[in-house]
Amino acid sequence: MPADSVLNLMTLGAEHGDEVVVAAEGGSARAAVDAVADVVATDHGD
């Protein structure tokens, strides 16, 4: 699923404890993966 939108990430349906694989291609791939991983790894106080 494209992760270029927070809405796409929110509708992923992943729950605490689920394993999520993040991949990207292109010149900004490492930064994109790191940014998505940070969002997924943060519980935002929930």
Confidence band, pLDDT 50/70/90 cuts, at residue 4 = low
Largest CA distance in the chain: 33
Q: Mean pLDDT of all residues in the chain?
A: 79
Q: Rounded to whole angstroms, how far apart are CA atoms 17 and 31?
A: 24
CB 33 within 8 A of CB 23: yes
List of residues 6+ apart from 33 with CB closer than 8 A? 22, 23, 24
Structure tokens of 42? 């943060």
Confidence band, pLDDT 50/70/90 cuts, at residue 1 = low
